[in-house]
Amino acid sequence: MEEIKLLGGALILASSAWAGLRAALCLRRTQEQLRDLCAALELMAGEVSFAATPFVPLCRRAGEGRGPAVRAFFDALAREGERPERAEAGMTRGACGEAGLLLPERSLSALERLFDGYGRFDRAGQLRQIELALSELKQLNAELNLHTEERCRGLRVLGLTAGAAVLVLVL
């Protein structure tokens, strides 16, 4: 009976520690995806300003060389852009869900404003939209970068202490 209690306690601690590690990993993955999205939007701004690249090739080009989730996001946007009956509303959220992007709501809203209405403006207006989304993503990334190590360490410690608290309650 004592061995079962020890095994159960170890499982409680391990699962809560894993939850803390997973939360820290998600925070780091979000930062990585935001950096990738910023780089892609900078590339898009250059493409639009100098070559006036259409939406589908622009999305394909922006996704090249990016991380898997950001590449999948731009691929989903390109596929949606190729459809003749493309529904503009919700296109960005659908692509984010399909790609598995871990983005805060603020950044998702900025991307929605850019991609759900892409092509409604002239070249200068479209560049302003890209720059607006890019500045919001950069600002959010800077906020997340502030004290990242402390946040990650805090999440890991929180997972362990929550496990220890549950273990004390159970035993």
Mind listing the pLDDT tens digit of every residue in the chain (171 residues)?
Answer: 778 777 777 777 777 777 777 777 777 888 888 899 999 999 999 888 888 788 889 999 998 989 899 999 999 998 888 877 766 677 888 888 888 888 888 888 888 888 887 877 788 888 898 999 999 999 888 887 777 777 767 767 777 677 777 666 666
78 neighbors 86 (Cβ within 8 angstroms): no
| CA neighbor of 37 nearest in space, from 152, 114, 90, 118 | 114
**What pLDDT does residue 50 have?**
86
Task: Give Cα separations from 13 to 18, 26, 33, 97 (angstroms).
Answer: 8, 20, 30, 31
For residue 29, the Cα-to-chain-centroid distance in whole angstroms is 7
The angle subtended at Cα 28 by Cα 109 and Cα 108, nearest 5°, is 5
